[in-house]
Chains A and B, each alone.
Chain A
Amino acid sequence: MGHFHHFDTLALHAGQTVDDEFGARATPIYQTTSYVFPDTDTASSIFNLERGGHAYSRITNPTVAVLEQRIAALEGGSAAVCTSSGMAATFCAITAILSQGDHIVASSQMYGGNISLMKNTLPRFGITTTFVDPADIEGFRAAIQDNTRLIYGELIGNPGLDILDLDAIGAISKEHHIPFMVDATFNTPYLCRCLDHGANITIHSVTKWMGGHGVAIGGVIVDGGNFDWGATDRYPTITEPYAPFSGLNLWDEFGPSAFAMRIRAEAMRDIGPSMSPMNAFLLLQGLETLSLRMNKHLSNTKMLLEFLSNHEQVSWVSHPDLPSHRSHKLAQKYLPKGAGSIISFGVKGGRDAGKAFIENVGLASHLANVGDAKTLVIHPATTTHSRIDAEALIAAGITEDMVRLSVGLEDVRDIEADFENGFRAAKKFVGD
């Protein structure tokens, strides 16, 4: 497959070799725990990472491997490891290189799960984080400490939709020789290949647009193969002998895939957040239509931005494709096809109006996921962020009238008609 390199072809074919036994056109679902070894020597060489091969589905699985190779190809990375969820991907990627006493510089605008991981969970293991406004490039530089081992951000931030200046932060990462890890869930490789802009590792919740149908939870870590782990002694998990594998040196053995191999050898083996083969199959199926779906997500987003911007009951609309957004220029640079299909907007009438809107739309589903084929809405002030006070809401970039919208693939006329029902119900709160 090496000679194909265009996106849609890779999305359909990368990673799959038609099985030699029967020639099945679709990837078989290897719903199995284990693999019968032909002999003990082969078994021991697979166990010692001396040769490829499958031993146990917690560590590798042939169906999951197709998804891993396909995503690596789409991202332009050297290797990928799939995990049972997007959060598992973030956790495994960070802990593969950071240990007690290490430090992260991260964007302050991220998914709540990522913030919580860095703010609450990782400090329990001696890993601390300094959060920086994604628009404050110099702030990233200033936050770097002697023990900083990772720079982390989301290309399209959550919930303010600020765009990370990848090239600028990539340059800082290079200058200080610290790997730059980007959560690319909201953009997918179809809208932007972050590895081409200074990122060294990307993370995805494959649950979202990559899978695209809201049927399976999964995550992936893509090794960019573009970071020189051996240039310093700061990354001993990659460059020093790994005792459990008879002192194997991952950097010497696997070079550009050493980081992915560390995750495979440690996180998959000792922690075990593996993706199930059935989920991999469903997510592979989703990936086959990624560009088609993204184009439709984006064209619907464009039409809804216009609809909402012109609606008398909408107090504000936020999306990086709007010139009014503070990241508009960065969106044009990194996301020329469109800056994703998440829109946030304010319903005139405040908290009660936002709530009434959500309760009176029917086609749009009220739930916490994003990136489904179906249109999803949520009112953060009464749900995801209901336990924090008004002041903290502002700090998180959330207003009481805010509705977050994940634009689906329905006919946009039906989405608009549905929203009119919500606006009608919200109308009585206007002027309160």
Chain B
Amino acid sequence: MICPPKGGIIAAHNTRKITMGFSTRQIHAGVTPDPLTGSILTPIYQTTTYVQPSVDGYLSKGYSYSRSGNPTVRALELKLTDLEGGVDASCFGTGMAAVQAVMLAFLNAGDHAIISDVAYGGTYRLCKQVLSRFGVEFSFVDGSDLKAVAAAVRDNTRLFLTETPANPTMKCSDIAGISKIARAAGAVHAVDNTFLTPYYQRPLELDADVSIHSTTKYMDGHNATVGGAVISARQEHADAVRFIQNSTGSIMSPQVAWLTLQGCKTMSLRMDAQSANAMAIAEYLEAHAKVKQVCYPGLKSFAQYELASRQASGYGAMLWFEVKGGLVAGKKLMDNIKVFSLAENLGSVESLITHPVTMTHAAVEKAERERVGIIDGLVRVSVGLEDVEDLIEALDKALAQV
């Protein structure tokens, strides 16, 4: 809208001719040396406003006020646009702000949205407790069942929001299949791609319209910032999101953008290493006598292994398991485990262990949780970058105490 691209590698994506590899682009896309000083990194423009050259020259340099655009945040937006293969992006103060902006951009009172029935508890709460007050209707549908998705479409369906793999059940939804249904319905298909990042999964290449991220997770990767992003495949969608952002004032700070720019540079390295750790842990848990079940998309036993392998090039570093003895045993394990931190958030280099029923998904009613498979004994693990031997030893000791 008012933020100009900066040339360089971005020019390549604008013509949809991405020739460089992901690891090259995660480092260079969006960032060009500062023309004034040559600074190899984009400066942190911690500024509210921009001095205009003249009244007639208003906005000739692209910026007026940091709610509407900021050069540091813009660098991150251009990088994420490139990585997701979109045309434009907006960055937000949190992942939830990004989800909210997508909903406000594409839904009006009287409209209807179809949400994959397992989604982050915050997304569920936003639909049920906030947007429902403004006359928007929601259906929570099993995204792995394309017939069920198609059956849920109404005349007033304007948005599909798919979270895949879903938090915390890891249920996968068929992005291309839902995109097809959405297109036929004349609705926008938005995919929350937080769990896999564009390194492993690119929803826009699977005909989704919009990709949403909590940049807090793998893009930052270091538990340093809270942020979100929306990347669009079509300019009119990007403009609609930007308009909502500017109108509602939901923005990312330049400091957060700068830290996230640094985090992005090692995203593929971290994803590969963390995913390898997750695979090893999933296999270890699956073989453990005290573990009732393990859910990780990379396991052959994963119910949607074929879909997970088809629409993504990696399985990520999120998994869950249930200890024999259910909730009581699971709590004991989480209270005693070393190395893993009992904490919310995911995707960071630090391994985290979470009890969704009491933590991330407490906003979801018990009946709804049980319907979608968030069982009381579910232990969610965000596998980090530690030595996998240490992680397994920690799990081993904690399981021994159960």
Interface set of A (CB-CB < 8 Å, partner B): 18-38, 53-54, 62-63, 278, 281
Nearest B residue (CB) for A33: B40
Which B residues from 16 to 59 make CB contacts under 8 A with A? 33-41, 43-53
Interface centre among B34, B61, B258 (most CB of A within 10 A): B34
If the complex has contacts A23-B53, A23-B61, are A37 and B46 also in contact, measured as CB distance less than 8 A? no
Selected from B38, B46, B49, B61, the residue in CB contact (under 8 A) with A28 is B46
Query: For residue B49, which residues in chain A have a CB less than 8 angstroms away from its CB?
Result: 24-25
Task: Judge whether B320 is part of the interface by a CB distance below 8 angstroms.
Answer: no
Query: For residue A32, which residues in chain B have a CB less than 8 angstroms away from its CB?
Result: 34, 39-41, 43
Taking a contact as CB atoms under 8 Å apart, the answer to whether A54 and B47 are in contact is no
Measured CB to CB, the closest approach of chain A to B296, in angstroms, equals: 38
Taking a contact as CB atoms under 8 Å apart, the answer to whether A30 and B37 are in contact is yes
What is the CA–CA distance of A26 and B45 in the complex, to the nearest angstrom? 7
If the complex has contacts A21-B34, A21-B35, are A26 and B47 also in contact, measured as CB distance less than 8 A? yes
Taking a contact as CB atoms under 8 Å apart, the answer to whether A18 and B51 are in contact is yes
If the complex has contacts A26-B46, A26-B47, are A62 and B63 also in contact, measured as CB distance less than 8 A? no
What is the CA–CA distance of A27 and B44 in the complex, to the nearest angstrom? 9
Measured CB to CB, the closest approach of chain A to B103, in angstroms, equals: 31
Measured CB to CB, the closest approach of chain B to A279, in angstroms, equals: 13
Taking a contact as CB atoms under 8 Å apart, the answer to whether A29 and B43 are in contact is yes
Task: Judge whether B5 is part of the interface by a CB distance below 8 angstroms.
Answer: no
Taking a contact as CB atoms under 8 Å apart, the answer to whether A36 and B63 are in contact is no
Measured CB to CB, the closest approach of chain B to A201, in angstroms, equals: 28
Task: Judge whether B93 is part of the interface by a CB distance below 8 angstroms.
Answer: no
Taking a contact as CB atoms under 8 Å apart, the answer to whether A22 and B71 are in contact is yes
Task: Judge whether B62 is part of the interface by a CB distance below 8 angstroms.
Answer: yes
Query: For residue A36, which residues in chain B have a CB less than 8 angstroms away from its CB?
Result: 33, 38-40
Measured CB to CB, the closest approach of chain B to A25, in angstroms, equals: 5
Q: Which 3 A-B pairs have the closest CB atoms?
A: A26-B47, A29-B44, A35-B38
If the complex has contacts A21-B61, A23-B63, A38-B38, are A31 and B44 also in contact, measured as CB distance less than 8 A? yes
Query: For residue A33, which residues in chain B have a CB less than 8 angstroms away from its CB?
Result: 40-41
Nearest B residue (CB) for A29: B44
Measured CB to CB, the closest approach of chain B to A170, in angstroms, equals: 38
If the complex has contacts A22-B63, A23-B61, A24-B71, are A31 and B51 also in contact, measured as CB distance less than 8 A? no
15 A-B Cβ contacts within 8 A? A21-B61, A23-B52, A25-B47, A25-B51, A26-B47, A30-B44, A31-B43, A31-B258, A32-B34, A32-B39, A34-B40, A35-B38, A36-B40, A54-B39, A62-B37
What is the CA–CA distance of A130 and B197 in the complex, to the nearest angstrom? 65
Taking a contact as CB atoms under 8 Å apart, the answer to whether B63 and A30 are in contact is no
Query: For residue A19, which residues in chain B have a CB less than 8 angstroms away from its CB?
Result: 36
A-side interface mostly? loop
Query: For residue B40, which residues in chain A have a CB less than 8 angstroms away from its CB?
Result: 32-36
What is the CA–CA distance of A34 and B34 in the complex, to the nearest angstrom? 11
Query: For residue A31, which residues in chain B have a CB less than 8 angstroms away from its CB?
Result: 41, 43-44, 258
Taking a contact as CB atoms under 8 Å apart, the answer to whether A25 and B38 are in contact is no
What is the CA–CA distance of A27 and B63 in the complex, to the nearest angstrom? 15
What is the CA–CA distance of A193 and B330 in the complex, to the nearest angstrom? 67
If the complex has contacts A21-B71, A22-B63, are A28 and B51 also in contact, measured as CB distance less than 8 A? no
Query: For residue B33, which residues in chain A have a CB less than 8 angstroms away from its CB?
Result: 35-36
Taking a contact as CB atoms under 8 Å apart, the answer to whether A54 and B38 are in contact is yes
Taking a contact as CB atoms under 8 Å apart, the answer to whether A22 and B50 are in contact is yes
Q: Please give 13 more A-B residue pairs, beta carbons under 8 A apart, in addition to A23-B63, A36-B40.
A: A20-B36, A21-B71, A22-B62, A25-B49, A28-B44, A29-B45, A31-B43, A32-B41, A33-B40, A35-B33, A54-B39, A281-B44, A281-B46
What is the CA–CA distance of A30 and B39 in the complex, to the nearest angstrom? 7
Nearest B residue (CB) for A281: B46
Measured CB to CB, the closest approach of chain B to A365, in angstroms, equals: 27
If the complex has contacts A18-B51, A36-B33, are A24 and B45 also in contact, measured as CB distance less than 8 A? yes
Query: For residue B44, which residues in chain A have a CB less than 8 angstroms away from its CB?
Result: 28-31, 278, 281
Measured CB to CB, the closest approach of chain B to A54, in angstroms, equals: 5
If the complex has contacts A22-B61, A23-B63, are A62 and B50 also in contact, measured as CB distance less than 8 A? no
Measured CB to CB, the closest approach of chain B to A51, in angstroms, equals: 13
Query: For residue A30, which residues in chain B have a CB less than 8 angstroms away from its CB?
Result: 34, 37, 39, 41, 43-44
Nearest B residue (CB) for A24: B47
Taking a contact as CB atoms under 8 Å apart, the answer to whether B36 and A26 are in contact is no
Nearest B residue (CB) for A282: B46
Query: For residue A62, which residues in chain B have a CB less than 8 angstroms away from its CB?
Result: 36-37, 39, 43
Query: For residue A38, which residues in chain B have a CB less than 8 angstroms away from its CB?
Result: 38
Taking a contact as CB atoms under 8 Å apart, the answer to whether A35 and B50 are in contact is no
Query: For residue B48, which residues in chain A have a CB less than 8 angstroms away from its CB?
Result: 25-26
Interface centre among A20, A24, A37, A54 (most CB of B within 10 A): A24
What is the CA–CA distance of A385 and B11 in the complex, to the nearest angstrom? 64
What is the CA–CA distance of A27 and B39 in the complex, to the nearest angstrom? 14
Query: For residue B258, which residues in chain A have a CB less than 8 angstroms away from its CB?
Result: 29, 31
Measured CB to CB, the closest approach of chain B to A40, in angstroms, equals: 13
Chain B 51-88 against A: per-residue CB contact (8 Å), 1 yes, 0 no?
Answer: 11100000001110000000100000000000000000
Measured CB to CB, the closest approach of chain A to B51, in angstroms, equals: 4
Interface centre among B44, B50, B258 (most CB of A within 10 A): B44
Query: For residue B46, which residues in chain A have a CB less than 8 angstroms away from its CB?
Result: 26, 28-29, 281
Query: For residue A21, which residues in chain B have a CB less than 8 angstroms away from its CB?
Result: 34-36, 61, 71
What is the CA–CA distance of A38 and B38 in the complex, to the nearest angstrom? 8
Nearest A residue (CB) for B47: A26
What is the CA–CA distance of A42 and B303 in the complex, to the nearest angstrom? 61
Which B residues from 310 to 357 make CB contacts under 8 A with A? none
What is the CA–CA distance of A29 and B42 in the complex, to the nearest angstrom? 9
What is the CA–CA distance of A20 and B52 in the complex, to the nearest angstrom? 10
If the complex has contacts A31-B258, A32-B43, are A25 and B50 also in contact, measured as CB distance less than 8 A? yes
Measured CB to CB, the closest approach of chain A to B78, in angstroms, equals: 14
Query: For residue A25, which residues in chain B have a CB less than 8 angstroms away from its CB?
Result: 47-51
What is the CA–CA distance of A146 and B34 in the complex, to the nearest angstrom? 51
Measured CB to CB, the closest approach of chain A to B136, in angstroms, equals: 38
If the complex has contacts A36-B33, A62-B37, are A23 and B43 also in contact, measured as CB distance less than 8 A? no
Measured CB to CB, the closest approach of chain B to A21, in angstroms, equals: 6
What is the CA–CA distance of A63 and B39 in the complex, to the nearest angstrom? 11
Chain B 224-268 against A: per-residue CB contact (8 Å), 1 yes, 0 no?
Answer: 000000000000000000000000000000000010000000000
Interface centre among B36, B38, B49, B52 (most CB of A within 10 A): B38
Nearest A residue (CB) for B64: A23
Query: For residue B35, which residues in chain A have a CB less than 8 angstroms away from its CB?
Result: 21
Query: For residue B51, which residues in chain A have a CB less than 8 angstroms away from its CB?
Result: 18, 23-25
What is the CA–CA distance of A22 and B41 in the complex, to the nearest angstrom? 16
